[in-house]
Amino acid sequence: MKKNEVASGWGIGKIFQSVFISQICFISLPVFLFAQSDVPTPAPKQSQSIYLTHATVHSGNGKVLNDATVAFENGKIVFVGESPSFKTDATMGKVIDCTGKHIYPGIIAPNTKLGLTEVEAIRATNDYAETGGYNPNVRAAISYNTDSRVTPTIRSNGVLYAQIVPQGGTVSGTSAVVQLDAWNWEDALVKEDGIWLNWPSLQSGGGWWAEPAASKENKDYEKQVRAIKDYFREAKSYSLEVAHKKANLRFDAMKGLFNGTRKLFVNASRVKEMQHAVAFAEELGMQVVIAGGRESFLIADELAQKNVAVMLDNPHSLPAYPEEDIDQPYKTPAQLQKAGVLFCLSIPGGFWQERNLMFEAGTAAAYGLTKEEALASITSNTAKILGIDKTIGTIETGKAATLIVSTGDVLDMRTSNIEHAFIDGREIDLDNKQKELNRKFMKKYGLN
Amino acid sequence: MRKLVFCIGLLSLVFRLSSQETTFKTNGPDDYREGKHAFTNATIFVSYNQKIDSATLYIQDGKVVKIERGSSPSGGKGMGWIIHDMSGKFIYPSFIDIFSDYGMPETKKESRDWNPQPESNIKGAYGWNQAIHTDFQAHTNFTVNDKAAEELRKLGFGTVLTHKKDGIARGTGAVVTLANDKENLTVITPYASAHYSFNKGSSTQDYPSSLMGSIALLRQTYYDAKWYSAVSPLSAGEGSGVRREFNINLEEWNKQQTLPQIFDAGGDWQKILRADKVGDEFGVQYIIKASGDEYQRVDEVKNTKAKLITTLNFPKAYDVEDPYKAIWVSLSEMKHWELAPTNPAALAAEQIDFAFTLSDLEKKEEFLPALRKAVKYGLDSSLALKALTYNPASFVNVYDKVGSLEAGKLANFFITSKPLFDEKCEINENWIQGKRYEVKAFEPKDVRGEYSLQISEPKKESKNFVLKVTGEVASPKGLIVLNDTTKLDVKLTNKDNDITLSFALDKKPNTGKFLLTGTIEHAKNQWSGKGQNPEGEWLQWSAAKTKPAEADTAKPKKDTTDYTKNLGKVLYPFQAYGNEQIPMQQNYLLKNATVWTNEAEGNLSNTDVIIRNGKISSVGKNLSCSDCQTIDATGKHIASGIIDEHSHVAISQGVNEGTEASSAEVRIGDVVNSQDVNVYRQLAGGVVAAQLLHGSANPIGGQSALVKFRWGYTPEKMKIEGADGFIKFALGENVKQSNWGDRNTTRYPQTRMGVEQTYYNYFTKAKEYEAAWKTYNASLTSKKKSADVVAVPRRDIELDALAEILNKKRFITCHSYVQSEINMLMHVADSFGFKVNTFTHILEGYKVADKMKAHGVNASTFADWWAYKYEVIDAIPYNTAILTKAGITTAVNSDDAEMARRLNHEAAKSVKYGGLSEIEAWKTVTLNPAKMLHLDNRTGSIKAGKDADIVVWSDNPLSVYAKAEKTFVDGILFFDRDRDEKMRQWIRSERARLIQKMLEEKKGGAPTQEPKQQKMEMYSCGHEH
């Protein structure tokens, strides 16, 4: 048992001298074992200090601390460092011995429909695509359903934040960053961060699913691009005027693009499409993020040089062309990393699928990223791209206590198992509907 | 009649329909003409392989009379030939295209309203399916279309076999000439051929919607037609074999069976094999229309023994100047661009008989250049002629009439200025049935040479100049040579005996011109006439040849390129990552790995495996093998290859025949696509075998194909030899069309109640069908009176498949989600005395695990899918673990080409969710699927004697970090990560080579095409899984 100095930022300044033996790791299950709701109750505010000790801490910024402790109070991390020795003191809060376990920042799922749909095939449950071509003013936050039965299944794999994104049309709407343990959307909302634009495709058509055909050159591409430019130019001109004879709600919603408070997320996948989109954003002085970025590896140096971030499509995809390297989508993240592009991983338009986001990062690690870089691509990089990195995305003193504890390597489905999760220091109930059904039927068959 | 009169009025050389030869009345006095022509001094191709120099062709009454050597017509009294001097010209028998739709009515395309149409909408006593058009006869629908004919005549064609290219059975074709005459005279063989295809064409009926459905429809129609003719109509008596219908399409079908059978298998070479297989089943050898890629598998094409009709449609080079656009052009497209012109030569080398058709050419005028290209790329020129004359004619039994210029055949021939394969050759005239059609006027006579030009103006001294005439015969250029330094251009035109010259005597601008016009006396090499000087005064002039034309020193460079050199090689398959040589079986010793045996001994560390003759020959420590290639696998894991119980890769043109509640007759095995790059990608994910399943659009889907991923093998050779038959069933939302939109609310069933009744209905029918055959077969063997012999039942390939299920010879893999329907199907099976083999997807299996265990069914599930539709809201990732713990053989499947490459990840999820042991988890993608596919006696574990379907993994295969490094199927190393690395390099350099070659071609002025991104065929069960 080592004795350690506790960092000066250690909250109200308690000093600990020995271990809280009584609390070792029994905390995880009992409280929630008999939860009866499909959607567990949101956790209350952090009321006592929590100490996660003797863990391998993966900070999300590349640093790994062995046998380390993370401590947090009032929702904020107050200490990250080598594990101190504690003295038994029931008044100090909760100590969780995490020997052999791994601590990571909470995972962030960007570009998702989570909470905007419940059962994809049932129209009544779909709230992600408004009618019409230009909908910058529709707000994902408004539709976000905190009571989705899907969310707890994502959370129990360590995803604690999400960027909820409207779909469809040319300008789909305004996305929202939410935390995944909330009573209602206001409670969930962290910020409304960006406007989503679907860049026209250079190739169109291609038969239908039963009879695929070669796609055709999109002859209207330039016309479509022109229409977008015209629209945004008009929006910018509107934003520069103070007074208007008549208000335009759509243009009002776009003001943030021109004063730097909102980012422009552009879905684009082919090289030329990305280049055109970036030039367009530059021209109008907008901060742009390329979403999709299927061929971003081909222009990685260019994107890095222009400081354009990429929210990359699933590494778990097939190559786009027969002759493409069979592992191209797996290794694209490593190519972006090498070129110095700020990128994060996404499962575009996914919802239940988000529980596999960390395994997509695992694959990226198998194909060239280090494990810590892969982790960053679902935590700190994502936070930077969403503009929430001041509080979220890494395990550092002063940041929000939003983190997860896994039995083993969180990126590998063979070992990934979330035992604890905290959002702003609140310990989240990791139960979900699926665990409940599992218990129910295991019991029916008398299995363990 | 009005039209007839119109034709006669227009033409100079016609055979009028006189009352002597025809049934037609003449308006006015008869005007019969014999049409006696002699074409002298020509080089005549009597047939594709017989050429006579300096010969005379005699024709009369539209037919060839004779060909004689020598130039002077053997006249004689009363012979009266019209003489055509053809000195320097060439005469060929006119070409024949036997895959034409010349003169056919246009196919009306009804617009589909996307409402379901289960039945034919054709009124009358026709068959049940709108895509069977055996009632169509080309000769009764044929009309002359001179504009279309002219387009073909210009290219040297004189005869076509025409048919209407619409539907799966297309009716009959007719051989017609391209003469502009009354149809009565141009139809040579009215009832010449019968035509088929895989394409339903204009049919608006739902069935068939897939390639395999088209094949099934063809097969069933053969059986129906056979039965139709075997059973007497409306015969008295009882028994299931009594035919009660009259059916125009089947009547006609049966009549057409003695004709040459022509099958349009356009698409790719795999369709040639598919067509041939259908033919083989019914003793029919089709003449097969191919699409020009036969060289990619020419040995297999030869094995069909089919005569081919192939195309000269060689793709244009892609415009690859923009590398970002060049990405969209696949390697196989690039290679096909390079190798397509070698296709005819490749067929010839294999001694496959083939004919050419114009039908695929975007622009018909590409024909002759393409033909010459084929010759440059190695096709013997006489075989090129054969493919346009002898072969097409003999394929459809009209070589006695057309295809050569032997006496008695139709006078169909064309005259050219040069040998046909000379780039500069022009077709001047095409004679059809003894009638001349001018294509391009003959060249004027050669006036080139040096002349002394004399001009006599009034009151002036006459002028003398040296005039040189050079250039092409058809477009000579004049030059007045004043002295060594001053030469003046002369504009010169000549036609027949007329000539004009114009020139200025000074090079200064605005100098006035002399304008001369006159007459040529060719025999004397003299010109003379009148003209005007710049002042407008009339003058006289003459020119006399003083020197013959200088020998052409500036001859156009002869193209001496050997186009057959430096070509890329054919790949197997013809696709990125294909091999020039299909990998061969070898013996291997894999040393010192952790071996996941899937047997009682579990995982063995530091263990060796020997692969011999495609089998695992031994597993143990410190093994040695003298004739093995040794692979050090220290630190690696060796495991049995992954088997995907539920896959839809490598399937051509449709995975669902979901147009009816049952499509038990369709077979994925008919449409396996060995070219799918996903086969290679699956190997890279350690997958060695799969069940290729029909989709889930209907309660009774189609028959599965069990394949091993033998990359580069043909579709038939990918199939697992001797495997049991399987069939796809499906339950729930897909089959009741819940998510297909508001139009699809009429096809039965629309509820789970209806799904059950569908099964009872079909299995009851299958039982009755079986009984009918038993009665019939018994009646054949019994020695009862002949009156008691019952009529033969109708063979029904749909009920055959269902009867096989009842007889436990075919096994069900059923797409299923909710517990009620799972329960239901087990009851249906029990009540008909069979067992359901596998529930696939089975996301609520955990709710009825006890019942499933009791029934003895297997489960094949998704690891963690849910929430995509209502019936999967209770899906849980613990399903695999619960089912396994309940004692059910459980597999994890992909249903997806992407996920299939990492089924090891999916297997690992049952460790995470539900805590299966790693060995149990691993079996869910190896041994367990092998068991449910009845393959576990030969694959699925690492045991001496089993097939060497083995993967070397870089790590514990359940880890996200594990990579399949080597994948063996039957002991053949089909995937090797090191080799893959080399292939990537090779693909890059091969693309670069082809890109450079295309740029060269573009630079040379050849037309190019825009790059297009190919969409790959990618299937899952249905729209919604």
Would you call A443 an interface residue with chain B, using a CB distance cutoff of 8 Å? no
In terms of Cβ atoms closer than 10 Å to its own Cβ (0-12, 13-18, 19+), residue A224 is middle
Q: Residue B733 and residue A121: Cβ atoms within 8 Å?
A: yes
* Sign of the four-CA dihedral A389, A390, A396, A401: negative
User: Looking at chain B, which residue has its C-alpha nearest residue A447?
Assistant: B885
User: Looking at chain B, which residue has its C-alpha nearest residue A411?
Assistant: B960
Given B678, B738, B911, which is nearest A414 (Cβ)? B911
In a shared domain, residues B854 and B958: no
In a shared domain, residues B307 and B172: yes
Q: Residue B1023 and residue A209: Cβ atoms within 8 Å?
A: yes
Query: Closest Cα of chain B to A416: distance in Å?
Result: 7
Structure confidence at residue B740 (pLDDT): 82
Which residue, B281, B332, B363, B845, is CA-closest to B572? B332
Q: Residue B960 and residue A414: Cβ atoms within 8 Å?
A: yes
Output the DSSP codes for B659-705.
TSSB-TT-BGGGSB-TT-HHHHHHHHTTEEEEEE---SSSSEEEE-E
Output the DSSP codes for A233-279.
HHHHHHHH-S--SS--HHHHHHHHHHHTSSEEEEEE-SHHHHHHHHH
In a shared domain, residues B211 and B250: yes
Q: How many helices (H) and strands (E) does chain B have?
A: 25, 43
Q: Count the Cβ atoms, other than its own, within 10 Å of residue A293.
A: 29
Query: Closest Cα of chain A to B722: distance in Å?
Result: 30
Residue B724 is assigned to a structural domain of this protein: no
Residue B166 is assigned to a structural domain of this protein: yes
Phi, psi dihedrals of residue A290, rounded to the nearest 5°: -85, 125
List of chain A residues whose C-beta atoms are within 8 Å of the C-beta of residue B925: none
Q: Which of B444, B477, B494 is the last residue of a domain?
A: B444
* Sign of the four-CA dihedral B404, B408, B411, B417: positive
Structure confidence at residue A384 (pLDDT): 98
Chains A & B: contacts with CB separation below 8 Å: 169
In a shared domain, residues B503 and B514: yes
Mean per-residue pLDDT, B369-398: 97
In a shared domain, residues B274 and B144: yes
Structure confidence at residue B246 (pLDDT): 92
Domain count, chain B: 6
Would you call A356 an interface residue with chain B, using a CB distance cutoff of 8 Å? yes
Query: Closest Cα of chain A to B959: distance in Å?
Result: 6
List of chain A residues whose C-beta atoms are within 8 Å of the C-beta of residue B647: none
CA distance A376 to A353: 19
The SS3 call for residue B560 is: coil
Q: Residue B1012 and residue A362: Cβ atoms within 8 Å?
A: no
CATH class of this structure's domain A107-390? alpha beta
The amino acid sitting at B213 is: G
Would you call A208 an interface residue with chain B, using a CB distance cutoff of 8 Å? no
Output the DSSP codes for B139-199.
HHH----HHHHHHHHTTTEEEEEE----SSEEEEEEEEE--SS-HHHHEEEEEEEEEEES-
Residue B738 is assigned to a structural domain of this protein: no
* Sign of the four-CA dihedral B655, B658, B660, B662: positive
Mean pLDDT over the full length of chain B: 92
CA distance A154 to A165: 17
Confidence label for B782 from pLDDT (cuts 50, 70 and 90): low
In a shared domain, residues B166 and B283: yes
The SS3 call for residue B833 is: coil
List of chain A residues whose C-beta atoms are within 8 Å of the C-beta of residue B909: 413
Residues B882, A438 contacting (CB under 8 angstroms): yes
B218-275 pLDDT, tens digit per residue, is 999 999 999 998 887 655 555 445 677 899 999 999 999 999 999 999 999 999 999 9
Structure confidence at residue B241 (pLDDT): 52
CA A357 to centroid of chain Cα atoms: 9
Residues B402, B393 contacting (CB under 8 angstroms): yes
Residue B691 is assigned to a structural domain of this protein: no
CA distance B30 to B428: 32
Given B656, B865, B898, which is nearest A318 (Cβ)? B898
In a shared domain, residues B212 and B158: yes
B445-483 pLDDT, tens digit per residue, is 888 899 999 999 888 888 898 999 988 888 888 988 888
In a shared domain, residues B80 and B177: no
CATH of the domain at B963: 2.30.40.10
pLDDT higher than threshold 50 for residue B13: no
Query: Closest Cα of chain B to A205: distance in Å?
Result: 9
Q: What is the dihedral of CA B87, B89, B92, B94, to 10 degrees?
A: -110
Residues B64, B412 contacting (CB under 8 angstroms): no
pLDDT higher than threshold 60 for residue A5: no
Element (DSSP H or E) covering residue A293 = none
pLDDT higher than threshold 70 for residue B8: no
Q: Residue B870 and residue A355: Cβ atoms within 8 Å?
A: no
In terms of Cβ atoms closer than 10 Å to its own Cβ (0-12, 13-18, 19+), residue B627 is exposed
pLDDT higher than threshold 90 for residue A17: no
In a shared domain, residues B398 and B432: no
Would you call A256 an interface residue with chain B, using a CB distance cutoff of 8 Å? no
Q: Residue A149 and residue B873: Cβ atoms within 8 Å?
A: yes
**Sequence ranges of chain A with CATH classification 3.20.20.140:** 107-390
∠ CA A75-A392-A142, rounded to 5°:
90
pTM score, whole prediction: 0.91
DSSP label of B400: T
Would you call A201 an interface residue with chain B, using a CB distance cutoff of 8 Å? no
CATH of the domain at B209: 3.20.20.140
Q: Residue A203 and residue B328: Cβ atoms within 8 Å?
A: yes
Mean per-residue pLDDT, B970-978: 97
The amino acid sitting at B145 is: N
Residue B274 is assigned to a structural domain of this protein: yes
Would you call A442 an interface residue with chain B, using a CB distance cutoff of 8 Å? yes
The SS3 call for residue B41 is: strand
∠ CA B541-B542-B547, rounded to 5°:
145
Query: Closest Cα of chain A to B1012: distance in Å?
Result: 6
Would you call A204 an interface residue with chain B, using a CB distance cutoff of 8 Å? no
A183-201 pLDDT, tens digit per residue, is 999 999 999 999 999 999 9
* Structure tokens that stand for B128 in this block: 């049940």
Would you call A9 an interface residue with chain B, using a CB distance cutoff of 8 Å? no
The SS3 call for residue B331 is: helix
Q: Residue A413 and residue B961: Cβ atoms within 8 Å?
A: no
Residues A396, A112 contacting (CB under 8 angstroms): no
* Angle (deg, nearest 10), helices B269-281 and B211-230: 20
Q: Residue A271 and residue B324: Cβ atoms within 8 Å?
A: yes
How many Cα atoms occupy the beta-carbon half-sphere of A373 within 13 Å?
20
Q: Residue A414 and residue B959: Cβ atoms within 8 Å?
A: yes
* Structure tokens that stand for B865 in this block: 């899918």
Query: Closest Cα of chain B to A18: distance in Å?
Result: 34
Higher-pLDDT residue of B788 and B137 is: B137
Which residue, A115, B616, B851, A360, is CA-closest to B836? B851
Given A206, A321, A326, which is nearest B681 (Cβ)? A326
Q: Residue B330 and residue A322: Cβ atoms within 8 Å?
A: yes
Given A216, A318, A434, which is nearest B681 (Cβ)? A318
User: Looking at chain A, which residue has its C-alpha nearest residue B987?
Assistant: A323
Element (DSSP H or E) covering residue B456 = strand B449-456
Q: Residue B330 and residue A298: Cβ atoms within 8 Å?
A: no
* Cis, bond preceding B1007 (omega within 30 deg of 0): no
User: Looking at chain B, which residue has its C-alpha nearest residue A408?
Assistant: B912
Residues B994, B337 contacting (CB under 8 angstroms): yes
pLDDT higher than threshold 90 for residue A52: yes
Given B678, B914, B961, which is nearest A366 (Cβ)? B961
CATH 2.40.50.100 fits A1-106+393-448, yes or no: no
In a shared domain, residues B960 and B918: no
List of chain A residues whose C-beta atoms are within 8 Å of the C-beta of residue B877: 434
B124-166 pLDDT, tens digit per residue, is 999 999 999 999 999 999 999 999 999 999 999 999 999 999 9
CA B745 to centroid of chain Cα atoms: 36
Q: Residue A210 and residue B654: Cβ atoms within 8 Å?
A: yes
Q: How many helices (H) and strands (E) does chain A have?
A: 12, 20
Distances (CA, A) of A249 to A137, A144, A253, B270, B708: 6, 21, 6, 58, 59
Would you call A446 an interface residue with chain B, using a CB distance cutoff of 8 Å? no
Query: Closest Cα of chain B to A369: distance in Å?
Result: 11
Which residue(s) pair with B500 in the sheet?
B493, B517
For chain A, percent helix, then strand, then coil, each to nearest 5?
A: 30, 25, 45
List of chain B residues whose C-beta atoms are within 8 Å of the C-beta of residue A412: 908, 959-961
In a shared domain, residues B142 and B253: yes
Structure confidence at residue A206 (pLDDT): 62
CA distance A309 to A214: 31
* Structure tokens that stand for B435 in this block: 């009638």
Confidence label for A86 from pLDDT (cuts 50, 70 and 90): low
- Which of A217, A414, A432, A439 to mutate against chain B (most B CBs within 10 Å)? A414
CA distance B342 to B321: 25
* Structure tokens that stand for A62 in this block: 């590349």
In a shared domain, residues B810 and B855: yes
B645-662 pLDDT, tens digit per residue, is 999 999 999 999 988 899
Would you call A44 an interface residue with chain B, using a CB distance cutoff of 8 Å? no
B664-704 pLDDT, tens digit per residue, is 999 999 999 999 999 999 999 999 999 999 999 999 999 99
Structure confidence at residue B589 (pLDDT): 98
Residue B269 is assigned to a structural domain of this protein: yes
Element (DSSP H or E) covering residue A71 = strand A64-73
Q: Count the Cβ atoms, other than its own, within 10 Å of residue B27.
A: 10
The SS3 call for residue B310 is: strand
CA distance A432 to A39: 6
pLDDT higher than threshold 80 for residue A222: yes
Which residue, A118, A151, A36, A45, is CA-closest to A400? A45
Q: Residue A319 and residue B681: Cβ atoms within 8 Å?
A: yes
Query: Closest Cα of chain A to B954: distance in Å?
Result: 11
CA distance A289 to A195: 10
What is the total residue count of chain B? Answer: 1025
In chain A, residues 408-437 whose CB comes closer than 8 Å to chain B: 411-414, 416-417, 434-435, 437
User: Looking at chain A, which residue has its C-alpha nearest residue B918?
Assistant: A414
Would you call A69 an interface residue with chain B, using a CB distance cutoff of 8 Å? no
> Which domain covers residue B430, as residue numbers?
34-94+403-444
DSSP label of B409: S
List of chain A residues whose C-beta atoms are within 8 Å of the C-beta of residue B733: 121
Q: Residue A121 and residue B956: Cβ atoms within 8 Å?
A: no
Structure confidence at residue A434 (pLDDT): 97
Going edge to edge, which strands form the sheet with A263-268?
A107-112, A159-164, A171-179, A189-198, A263-268, A288-292, A309-312, A343-345
Query: Closest Cα of chain B to A276: distance in Å?
Result: 13
Q: Which of B516, B548, B580 is the last residue of a domain?
A: B548
Query: Closest Cα of chain A to B251: distance in Å?
Result: 33
Phi, psi dihedrals of residue A380, rounded to the nearest 5°: -70, -40
User: Looking at chain A, which residue has its C-alpha nearest residue B880?
Assistant: A438
